[in-house]
Amino acid sequence: MTAPFDPSAELAQSAFAGRRLCAILLRHLYVMRTSWPRIIEMAYWPTMQMILWSFTSQFFRGHSSWVAQAAGVLVGAVLH
Amino acid sequence: MTISTDLAISVSGLTKHYGTVYAVNDIDFAVKRGTVVGLLGGNGAGKTTTISMILGLRLPTRGIVRALGHDMTGADRYAALPRMNLVSPYVNLPQRLTVYQNLKVYALLYGIRGVKERLEILIDELLLAPFLNTMARKLSSRQKTRVALAKALLNQPELLLLDEPTASLDPNTGDFICGYLETCARQSGCAILIASHNMQEVERLCARILIMRGGRIHAEGTVAELGARFGRDTLEEVFLDIARAPETESRQ
């Protein structure tokens, strides 16, 4: 038998879940605040990926058909 | 099956083996709400495994383990877990967070209301103020124990499991922790199960004592009962008698 729907219990449950989510975010924020390599790393790797992909897709644009270029455009769009 | 509501822990036929090695072998015991029970035993006696199964962290090979009326081997454990807590030297707090940050994160994780007020009470009672902004990794053993205890009391547990809470502490700090736990048990009425090697601490805090050896409970009772049964004056002598008895000796 399923339990009857209790809106107040549902609300309390979602508030609890929200607090737990907040705890996890706070934990990561505290760690990042005291560690500048982590903050730099967060920007460094995506930047590297974008530069690398830009060069790669630029190379393909000049050396392949429009079908091959389409994949590059799509991934480029995702990255941006 | 009727489930007694005045029991904080109820264990029956609990067994955990890894291949041919029995870490816990067919143990039965119960802890009433509002009581303090000691779990004594040498290294490898099965204390930590028993505590892990009470928390539902390890599944028993067979047997029943209930905490606060809930079966701890299935999803039902999530109804009991918010009402219990653990202190163990084997569990570290996040090392890159300060004491205050750790307590705040755990308070939110436990979903408690009035985080600031609750933290203020615990900081005051456990004298955490001098090292509140110290990173967890830089704490001394005695500071770590006090912080771990504060973390465990955040959710005002009905059942507190303490795995060697005063291990590697100097007598002064050990005495402070014991005194605090005594007050805590008396005022809050929470049930406490203490696994320890420290006889004085167990003698002082526990109404009843279980002595484990080789995964079994070899003796149980009050300090006076155990002393009378083994013809010894102190708990330490009883413990040594059990620890040094031949392996084949039957359970008492």
CA proximity to B106, closest of B78, B127, B131, B136: B136
Which chain B residues have a beta carbon less than 8 Å from that of A31? Answer: 94, 96-97
Nearest by CB to residue B109, choosing from A15, A20, A31, is: A20
Residue B7 scores a pLDDT above 50? yes
Q: For B232-240, what is the mean pLDDT?
A: 89
Per-residue pLDDT reduced to its tens digit, A10-65: 666 677 788 889 999 999 999 988 888 888 988 899 999 889 988 887 887 777 77
Strands B84-87, B36-41: parallel, antiparallel or unpaired by DSSP? Answer: unpaired
What is the pLDDT at residue B191? 94
pLDDT digits (tens, 9 = 90+) for B172-200: 888 888 888 988 888 888 999 999 888 88
Whether residue B165 contacts residue B197, with contact meaning beta carbons closer than 8 Å, is answered with no
B79 near A CB under 8 A? no
Residues with Cβ within 8 Å of B192's Cβ and at least 6 positions away in sequence, in order, are B35, B36, B37, B159, B160, B161, B162, B181, B185, B205
Burial of B171 (0-12, 13-18, 19+ CB in 10 A): exposed
**A55 class by beta-carbon count within 10 Å (0-12 exposed, 13-18 middle, 19+ buried):** exposed
A14–chain B Cβ distance below 8 A for any pair: no
By three-state DSSP, how is residue A60 classified? helix
> Which pLDDT belongs to residue B249?
47
SS3 B210: strand
Task: Give me the count of residues in chain B.
Answer: 252
Check B108 against A30: CB less than 8 A apart: no
**3-class SS shares of chain A: helix, strand, coil, % to 5:** 85, 0, 15
> Which amino acid is it at A71?
A
Q: Give the pLDDT confidence score for residue B74 in this predicted structure.
A: 87
Q: Is the dihedral of CA B56, B61, B67, B72 positive or negative?
A: positive
Does the distance separating the beta carbons of A31 and B105 come in below 8 Å?
no
Which residues does chain A have within 8 Å of residue B106's beta carbon, measured at their own beta carbons?
23
Q: Where does residue B247 rank: exposed (0-12), middle (13-18), buried (19+ CB within 10 A)?
A: exposed
pLDDT exceeds cutoff 70 at B2: no
Nearest Cα to B47, choosing from B16, B74, B7? B16
B121 — contact with chain A (CB < 8 Å)? no
ipTM: 0.72
User: How many A/B residue pairs have CB atoms within 8 Å?
Assistant: 34
Are B97 and A31 within 8 A, CB to CB?
A: yes
Q: Are strands B159-163 and B191-196 parallel, antiparallel or unpaired?
A: parallel
Per CB-CB distance under 8 Å, the chain A contacts of B133 are: none
Residues of chain B in contact with residue A23, where contact means CB-CB under 8 angstroms, are 105-109
Cβ within 8 Å, pair A20-B106: no
Query: What is the pLDDT, as a whole number, of residue B252?
Result: 41
User: B36: pLDDT confidence band, cut at 50, 70 and 90?
Assistant: very high
How confident is the model over B97-110, as pLDDT tens digits? 999 999 999 999 99
A21 to chain B, closest Cα gap in Å:
8
- Decide if B132 touches A, using CB distance below 8 A: no
